[in-house]
Structure 1
Amino acid sequence: MACQSVSAVMDEQALLGLNPNADVRYRERAMVYFEQLKESQDGWEVCAEALAKGVYSDDHVKFFCLQVLEHQIKYRHNALTAVQQQLIRETLMKWLQCQLMNPEPEKTFVRNKAAQVFALTFVMEYLTLWPKFFFDLLTLVGLNPHGVDIYLRTLMAIDAEVVDRNILHTQEEVRRNTLIKDRMRDECVPSLVESWFQILHTFQFSQPELTCQCLEVIGAFVSWIDLRLIANDRFVHLLLSQMSVEDLREEACDCLFEIVNKGMDPVDKTKLVESLCSVLQSAGFFNVDQEEDVDFLAKFSRLVNGMGQSLVVSWTRLVKGGGTMEQADHTLRAMEAKVPLLLRLLLHEDDDISANMVGFCYDYLHVLKQLPQLSEQQKSNVEAIMLAVIKKLTYDDEYNFDNEGEDEAMFVEYRKQLKMLLDRLAQVSPELLLEAVRRVFNNAMQNWQSAPFMEVELAVRLLYMLGEALPASHGAHFSGDSVKSSALQDMMRTMVSCGVSSYQHSSVSLEFFETVVRYDKFFIVEPQHVPLVLMAFLDHRGLRHNSPKVRSRVAYLFSRFIKTLHKHMNAFVEDILTRIQDLLELAPPENGFPALLTSDDQLFVFEAAGVLIVNADSPSERKQVLMRSLLRPLMDAFTPLLNKLLQETHEQRQLEIADCLSHAVGFTSRTSKAFSNKQTVKQCGCTEVYRECLQTFLPALSCPVQRGALRSAVRSFLHRMIICLEEEVLPFVPAASEHMLKDCEAKDLQEFIPLISQITAKFKRQVSPFLQQVFMPLVVAIFEVLACPAEENDQTAALEKQMLRRSYFSFIQVITGSGMNEVMANQGAENVERVVFTIIQGAADIPDPVAQKTCFMVLSRLVELWGGKDGLQGFPEFIYKHIVPACFISPMKDSFDLSDAQTVLTLAECSLTLKMIHLKRGEEFIQFLQQDYLPSLQVSPEISQELCQVLQQPDVKVLKTYMKVFFQRAKL
């Protein structure tokens, strides 16, 4: 009857929705029912009763009931009556009792959830209502396998709630957890440890899964319990015996790792590690070459690494005053006794096993670095580690260079770890590393034609790595007569002259060019090798390699090589330009076959071509001819393509043509990067060439098709030309501006304003007439876009408007800051007032500290320009009526957060505006504040006087500090 009454209370229709395959309507109903039971005062009791009496056999219903119970304990425990709390305890123990009698265990997900509920109850009640939690649990469970399983899962759930440092806890929870651990140490940890021993002993052969669970529990708990309870003969003997059981050995290894990892006194730690090593060695575990189980070896190598790093930590603490030199020496000997094992594992063919040893290896080398001098054995260790690292850096046959996947990515990461070891080896013994690399390098270069690619790649790679590994004083410098620089010079000479650049493997090709550019200073010392390397860049070994990956990387490296060494290429400039001509062709979409280089790669080659032309040792007339022949194909292709775009109706084709047009502009722009202040466009005779480019590209601004991409490209080009052509660009600006202001959106305007600002800042009065003409149309266009309604939740539109508003205020700041107040002043009184009001609004009403700061800077400048006796008519009245209130209204708003660094900067500009008003209006301003304005804000006469006194002081730092305190006080 009890079961029926529960069934009557439970919503059976809703429970049907708990099945993963249930209809959506049922699933939704189940969710609603779950929320009802969680929120009701006593709905959970139905679930408790169902659990205690085993009413339901469906796993999903049991899980559901446990979830409801979990919610009550987690969020409502304190609100439950003593009777209800007792009911929860009884429910859990009855449910557990049922598990002991069931022939089959519950599904794993149900057991895990039950363990969480047990753990939550423990956390809530152990210190107060249920001090005998573990006693009750162990008494009930005994050595019943189902019960032991729940017990162990509960312990792991308790670890997650109370110990796990990866889970964030409140201060209150931390305090509670500390009390729980202290109570457990005092009252029950020995009993728990005894139970673990019994579980390990009883189930190690019959129930390997339970034994592994128990080992995991010991590993979790060992960090905070008394280690002597575990690190004793009977326990360690048991753990070591399990290291020989196939199903247990990995978990036993992990458990030993946690034991070794426990923080403790350095002398005791050394003893622990040494005793453990001794037993492991006697049991034959150090014979790793005979071990075929790589999964176990991965765990074992982690354990060895942990032991080694523990010894390093102990040695460091002892050396720093935590013990005697004798103790430190003993620990160092213990550490070095592990080096043979370290080397065997580091050299293991499985990279996961090898990677596990990097930590110990790195730390051991750091120890050696700190020693005053190395013994012969230590030098031998360093050399052995070096050879191991060099061997492990080598690619294997299975590496897929054409289609790099997860395995390849893991090897690349592993290589980075080995590089760290190489760098550390260089710190310990640079001479030894240099000698080892030279030996490997020379062997590989002598017979590179017949050597496998991985040997050749490794040799060049090691030479490349020396550049970072060797101390900076030796690094890539090829001057002086030091051993290091001459060794590097010898290897570089060999590499560029022995023909290895012709090796037919992409990894060798890439490494060759990377190394050439890494050591580009070598060619300054020995420029006779430049032609050889240039040919490698230009032919099938580099830019015309059959691998797109190689071609792409070489394009970038070629650009860098040219930039550094252009002075040594004067004799080859025109030959290089001829050879790369076909690589610089614009690739219209109708070609139908892929170009050798992508458009991104071509950018680098165009830049390199520009650098060669600009820096060539030839007259300006010749430079002009070369630059025109470089850029003329782009201009010739541009207009027909633009006309084609206007006629094209297919959207994908439009996009392809627009891309091609944008690339033409981008390539031209990139060539201008070659000009520096020393080498202007005019001096090179290239002004006319770039003017022609401008005339060719500007019509694209009025193209209605794919407008965004084209405008962006031409606008970027204009930015470059303002820098390169200077006043020669001015005739093009009005027409360009007219095109860009037509039918524009927020993003167009936001990107156009920096261009106008750049022109204003650079040319100032030269562009004043143009600016006066374009000023109001631009302002009106901005106002119109900002006034356009947008969807309430359209974050993109809101952000675009915010950025446009900021750009607008910055533009006004550039105008006022460039001493061009006539641009605004000549717009007519009504327009001036309209603009200045937008600045007032930006300072006082818009909750954007970045924009507000700019607005206060503009207001301060306007006061400086127009606020004096000879200023703009009517402006002093405007100051008192609008600017002064803005300086007080804005910081008083809730949105003005004085704990925010950006807002504090805004307040500083606000303070400087008040200071500028005082400078311009003097005593009149002080009287206005004291007699009119501050009283209207209900500021007391004492505070008013204080503020005015600070305003009159010359030190603006005092004013900034005071104003922050003033508004903090005012907001209270």
Structure 2
Amino acid sequence: MDEQALLGLNPNADLEFRQRALAYFEQLKVSPDAWQLCAEALAQGIYSDDHIKFFCFQVLEHQIKYKYSQLTEVQHQLIRETLITWLQAQLLHSQSEKTFIRNKAAQVFALLFVTEYLTKWPKFFFDVLSVVGLNPRGVDLYLRILMAVDAELVDRDVVHTLEEARRNTLLKDSMREQCIPSLVESWYQILQTYQYTNSELTCQCLEVIGAYVSWIDLSLIANERFINMVLGHMSIEVLREEACDCLFEIVNKGMDPIDKTKLVETLCQVLQSAGLFSIDQEEDVDFLARFSKLINGMGQALITSWTKLVKTGDIKSAQDTLQAIEAKVVLMLQLLIHEDDDISSNIIGFCYDYLHILKQLSVLSEQQKANVEAIMLAVMKKLTYDEEYNFENEGEDEAMFVEYRKQLKLLLDRLAQVSPELLLVSVCRVFNTTLQNWQTKPFMEIEVAIRLLYMLAEALPASHGAHFTGDTKANALQDMMRTLVTSGISTYQHTSVTLEFFETVVRYEKFFTTEPQHIPNVLMAFLDHRGLRHSSPKVRSRIAYLFSRFVKSLNKQMNPFTEDVLNRIQDLLELSPPENGYQALLTSDDQLFIYETAGVLIVNSDYSAERKQALMRNLLTPLMEKFKVLLEKLMMASDEDRQAALADCLNRAVGFASRTSKAFSNKQTVKQCGCSEVYLDCLQTFLPALSCPLQKEVLRGGVRTFLHRMIICLEEEVLPFIPSASEHMLKDCEAKDLQEFIPLINQITAKFKTQVSPFLQQVFMPLLRAIFEVLHSPAEENDQSAALEKQMLRRSYFAFLQTVTGSGMSEVIANQGAENVEHVLITVIQGAVDYPDPIAQKTCFIILSKLVELWGGKDGPVGFADFVYKHIVPACFLAPLKQTFDLADAQTVLALSECAVTLKTIHLKRGLECIQYLQQEYLPSLQVGPEIIQEFCQALQQPDAKVFKNYLKVFFQRAKP
């Protein structure tokens, strides 16, 4: 072997050596017999370097995985012998190989197993076992091989092809017949031999049993000698976690419901008598987490059995199983309430399913009601934050608690389904007790009390109203909300309480429509140091969003406070200049919500149009003035960072103005509110940014977004601004600019149709020339992003033509002069045929069928009929016949469907002439037989378009080689 290249396998080797090693690996992979050097090195133990040994196994792995069918029988035999020889050698070494080598070796054995077991090596496991016996190093490798085989056959995380899935089923069937009993016997021997002397091997063996039990005969494992041994391991500290997992897999195995109940009950009795149910005396939380998972599995297994027995009508056995379930509830509750969240989290599935059973029972016993209450109290307690929770800098532990809280919320929702009255009473009790003297309570208790009120909104939706007498629910919720907003709790100095207060106020905004007298106090809380001026940026940011929701949902009740609120948020609306050292209270994203809120307050107020206009002008004038100053500064700026900061600030000004327009609706249009003039002034102020040569992308993006909004809000009043805006945006264009400009033109075309016809005629060819220039510009051969940009631009171009033709403005194209018209039409034909992009192809066929519909009749433009036969008809055949036109792809099928519509439209417009052309000229030129031509023309003449679409798909499926 190339010793120099092997030096590069060391992770600390120089880059040059590492590259040489990589090249050598590739060389060995492709060479038909160089891999034999690696086989020899492994069998004879030539190298002591771990990385070289690993390398040799990798080369063998590649041969088995990808080249095995190309090897001779002698070479197959060599690989088998190499592995067995290597295995024998491991028993003689004084030291075990490193773990990563043992794992790789096990993978190679497993690969060879799946390749050869059914045909050449049915004695695979017997051969391995005869070598390893009970030698500890051999047993370790044998168990690793078993796990690797399980990973190949059963692992659900690995995606298998249908062929592999079929092979795996065959392998498992053959193993069950030929060797599983012997393997199970070997596991028993290993456990018996090593349970007190080698915990590592015992744990490995338990893991193997857990993995295999899901697909082998359960009676081989779930019998007295095996179960007793595994249960014995539950009292050995170093084995009990793995024993727990093994028992969990045994319990998880699908089986007859009565047998499953017996198995679980037997296990439970033994575990209980071994003292394992005394949770409060167990200090090892890692073990308890596994034990909790086991009890969860047992509980869920019993519930599955109960469900099956109820379905089959075996009420007596179902009753017995339900008793068995009830007997586990005390243990379940102990685990649920455990202070370690992992232990608690692992039992939630059992709790959830148990509540589902109770929901199905018509009457609950006193004990069951007590159980529901106990679960409820446990959930309330466990929802509480720890003292250590870091609110300012949330890390992994905090994220895990947030996820855990979501699980608890599901339990709470399920509790509400079982006993909504009890949930309401319990939450009321906790809430009222906590808020009575909140000044003396720790933040965790207050936060959870408010959180429970917040959660009730989803847990007790309107459908639960039927459970309550009179209006108990509404009254209770209203009482709690009244307490919340009058208790002064909003002044509590903890971010979690502050946020929970505002989240709940916004969630129950309907409360304020019935008791509007509380609005002023809540508004003040939003506006002062408790809300938008809070010391925490995180809180301020969330409040900005919540405030906008609060104002929007209560817009009618806001009337008396509109001007006061606008005055109080004035300083929050300031556009922070890009000067260093100025620390704004809100980020620009947060400010967007405040601008939208200001807009909503003005638009939905009861003021006259004149007053609304004045207020809107007050809101937007500072932005316009700042914009003019900043644009001048940008023109003068020479430093690139300064330019970028100024452009960003300009963009924010445009964004803020744009966001205020979201307040308008169909009922409250810009015109009705008298605000058109203000927004037209904004347009006039912002448009000069389009001609700024610096930071083009940023400025154009912002102004373009504003134009999109104004087309919706100002309607035809925006039209005078469009020509000059377009002219600026088409200057010095790149693919991305054009791609983003086209949707604007499409919006204008679709909205104003013939009103913009003169403008479109004028801009049509300049726009197209800009597009063609970018599309035809040379690009690097392997530049993926440039290719993708061009593809997206091409799609945008065809979408533009589709909008023009679909808006009844085909004369815009027709008036461009014969040469230009032909050029445009040819690009559509190319789009339909030449580019393997089904989305663009579909659009092109839509354009073609529309043009045929408009121009394809006897009175159509001169020369168009010739174009139909010369280009459009051939396109309908050439596109689907291309190898890249994949009829198994959904988008391509849609393109074919539009192709069918195009052919139908041609037939509709040209009638018999079209049929004759296909019969006598075009289809014969494609070497289509007379019978098929006849069949095709008959299908085309069918009145039902769907029949022809289906036929066309079959036609091209047959036509393709």
TM-superposed CA distance for 1:38, in Å, is 4.4
Q: Distance in 1 between matches of 2:956 and 2:372?
A: 65
> Would the alpha carbon gap of residues 170 and 576 (structure 1) be closer, same or farther in structure 2, given more than 3 Å must change?
closer
Q: Distance in 2 between matches of 1:884 and 1:131?
A: 62
| Equivalent residue number for residue 412 of structure 1 | 402
> Would the alpha carbon gap of residues 835 and 234 (structure 1) be closer, same or farther in structure 2, given more than 3 Å must change?
closer
Question: Structure 1: where are the runs of 5+ without partners?
Answer: 1-9
2:818 to 819, 825, 829: 829
2:280 to 259, 282, 289: 289
> Would the alpha carbon gap of residues 283 and 780 (structure 1) be closer, same or farther in structure 2, given more than 3 Å must change?
same
1:767 counterpart = 2:756:
yes
Q: Could you list the per-position Cα deviations for residues 524-544 of structure 1 after superposition, in whole angstroms to 9, with x for gaps in the alignment?
A: 222222222111111111111
Q: Distance in 2 between matches of 1:53 and 1:776?
A: 77
| Equivalent residue number for residue 389 of structure 2 | 399
Q: Distance in 1 between matches of 2:118 and 2:361?
A: 51
1:380 counterpart = 2:403:
no
| Equivalent residue number for residue 653 of structure 1 | 642
> Would the alpha carbon gap of residues 481 and 541 (structure 1) be closer, same or farther in structure 2, given more than 3 Å must change?
farther
TM-score normalised by structure 1 residue count: 0.95
Give the 5 Å matches for 1:291-306.
291-306=282-297
Give the 5 Å matches for 1:68-467.
68-77=59-68, 80-321=71-312, 324-467=314-457
1:519 to 481, 485, 508: 508
Give the 5 Å matches for 1:577-726.
577-590=566-579, 592-726=581-715
Q: Distance in 2 between matches of 1:757 and 1:370?
A: 56
> Would the alpha carbon gap of residues 852 and 19 (structure 1) be closer, same or farther in structure 2, given more than 3 Å must change?
closer
Give the 5 Å matches for 1:50-61.
50-61=41-52
Q: Could you list the per-position Cα deviations for residues 160-183 of structure 1 after superposition, in whole angstroms to 9, with x for gaps in the alignment?
A: 233334334444544444444344
Q: Distance in 2 between matches of 1:742 and 1:136?
A: 77
> Would the alpha carbon gap of residues 334 and 537 (structure 1) be closer, same or farther in structure 2, given more than 3 Å must change?
same
Q: Is the 8 A contact 1:474 1:485 kept in 2?
A: no
Q: Could you list the per-position Cα deviations for residues 561-587 of structure 1 after superposition, in whole angstroms to 9, with x for gaps in the alignment?
A: 111111011111111100111100111
> Would the alpha carbon gap of residues 663 and 192 (structure 1) be closer, same or farther in structure 2, given more than 3 Å must change?
same
> Would the alpha carbon gap of residues 696 and 480 (structure 1) be closer, same or farther in structure 2, given more than 3 Å must change?
farther
Q: Distance in 1 between matches of 2:898 and 2:490?
A: 61
Secondary structure of the equivalent of 1:676? coil
Q: Is the 8 A contact 1:701 1:739 kept in 2?
A: yes
Q: Is the 8 A contact 1:825 1:832 kept in 2?
A: yes
Q: Could you list the per-position Cα deviations for residues 389-430 of structure 1 after superposition, in whole angstroms to 9, with x for gaps in the alignment?
A: 110000010000000001100000110111111111111111
TM-superposed CA distance for 1:222, in Å, is 2.0
The residue type equivalent to 1:302 in the other structure is: K
Greater shift, 207-216 or 181-190, is seen at: 181-190
TM-score normalised by structure 2 residue count: 0.96
Secondary structure of the equivalent of 1:473? helix
Secondary structure of the equivalent of 1:810? helix
Q: Could you list the per-position Cα deviations for residues 578-600 of structure 1 after superposition, in whole angstroms to 9, with x for gaps in the alignment?
A: 01111001111116221111111
TM-superposed CA distance for 1:84, in Å, is 4.5
Secondary structure of the equivalent of 1:302? helix
> Would the alpha carbon gap of residues 75 and 587 (structure 1) be closer, same or farther in structure 2, given more than 3 Å must change?
closer
Secondary structure of the equivalent of 2:569? helix
Secondary structure of the equivalent of 2:438? coil
Q: Distance in 1 between matches of 2:514 and 2:557?
A: 11
> Would the alpha carbon gap of residues 833 and 160 (structure 1) be closer, same or farther in structure 2, given more than 3 Å must change?
closer
Secondary structure of the equivalent of 2:454? helix
Q: Could you list the per-position Cα deviations for residues 86-114 of structure 1 after superposition, in whole angstroms to 9, with x for gaps in the alignment?
A: 44444434433333233322222222233
Q: Distance in 1 between matches of 2:650 and 2:257?
A: 69
Q: Is the 8 A contact 2:195 2:202 kept in 1?
A: yes
1:870 to 859, 863, 874: 859
Greater shift, 713-722 or 139-148, is seen at: 139-148
The residue type equivalent to 2:192 in the other structure is: H
Secondary structure of the equivalent of 2:350? helix
The residue type equivalent to 2:796 in the other structure is: S
Secondary structure of the equivalent of 1:589? coil
Give the 5 Å matches for 1:925-944.
925-944=914-933
1:528 to 512, 517, 534: 517
TM-superposed CA distance for 1:836, in Å, is 2.2
Q: Distance in 1 between matches of 2:874 and 2:163?
A: 47
| Equivalent residue number for residue 4 of structure 1 | none
Q: Distance in 2 between matches of 1:79 and 1:880?
A: 53
Q: Distance in 2 between matches of 1:313 and 1:531?
A: 54
Q: Distance in 2 between matches of 1:783 and 1:72?
A: 51
1:507 to 485, 490, 496: 496
> Would the alpha carbon gap of residues 834 and 463 (structure 1) be closer, same or farther in structure 2, given more than 3 Å must change?
same
2:766 to 777, 785, 805: 777
1:17 counterpart = 2:8:
yes
Q: Distance in 1 between matches of 2:303 and 2:83?
A: 47
| Equivalent residue number for residue 565 of structure 2 | 576
Q: Is the 8 A contact 2:886 2:892 kept in 1?
A: yes
The residue type equivalent to 2:646 in the other structure is: I
Greater shift, 193-202 or 770-779, is seen at: 193-202
1:959 to 926, 939, 948: 948
Q: Is the 8 A contact 1:427 1:471 kept in 2?
A: no
1:899 counterpart = 2:883:
no
Q: Is the 8 A contact 2:245 2:294 kept in 1?
A: yes
Q: Distance in 1 between matches of 2:294 and 2:794?
A: 60
| Equivalent residue number for residue 7 of structure 1 | none
Give the 5 Å matches for 1:909-928.
909-928=898-917
Q: Could you list the per-position Cα deviations for residues 589-632 of structure 1 after superposition, in whole angstroms to 9, with x for gaps in the alignment?
A: 11622111111111111111111111111111111110000001
Q: Could you list the per-position Cα deviations for residues 778-820 of structure 1 after superposition, in whole angstroms to 9, with x for gaps in the alignment?
A: 1222221211111122222222222222222222222222222
Q: Could you list the per-position Cα deviations for residues 108-141 of structure 1 after superposition, in whole angstroms to 9, with x for gaps in the alignment?
A: 2222233333334444444454444444443443
Secondary structure of the equivalent of 1:725? helix
Greater shift, 644-653 or 524-533, is seen at: 524-533
> Would the alpha carbon gap of residues 906 and 196 (structure 1) be closer, same or farther in structure 2, given more than 3 Å must change?
closer
TM-superposed CA distance for 1:676, in Å, is 1.1
Identity %: 75
Q: Is the 8 A contact 1:308 1:338 kept in 2?
A: yes
In the comparison of the two structures, how many residue pairs are matched?
Answer: 960
The residue type equivalent to 1:755 in the other structure is: L
Q: Is the 8 A contact 1:750 1:803 kept in 2?
A: yes
Q: Distance in 2 between matches of 1:940 and 1:678?
A: 64
Greater shift, 89-98 or 828-837, is seen at: 89-98
Question: Structure 2: where are the runs of 5+ without partners?
Answer: none
The residue type equivalent to 2:58 in the other structure is: Q
Q: Distance in 1 between matches of 2:772 and 2:80?
A: 68
Q: Distance in 2 between matches of 1:800 and 1:35?
A: 35
Q: Is the 8 A contact 2:576 2:582 kept in 1?
A: no
Q: Distance in 1 between matches of 2:758 and 2:69?
A: 77
Q: Could you list the per-position Cα deviations for residues 619-676 of structure 1 after superposition, in whole angstroms to 9, with x for gaps in the alignment?
A: 1111111000000100111111001011111111111111110111111111111111
Q: Is the 8 A contact 1:426 1:471 kept in 2?
A: no
Q: Distance in 2 between matches of 1:608 and 1:377?
A: 52
Q: Distance in 2 between matches of 1:11 and 1:776?
A: 65
Q: Distance in 2 between matches of 1:923 and 1:85?
A: 68
Secondary structure of the equivalent of 2:222? coil
The residue type equivalent to 1:467 in the other structure is: A
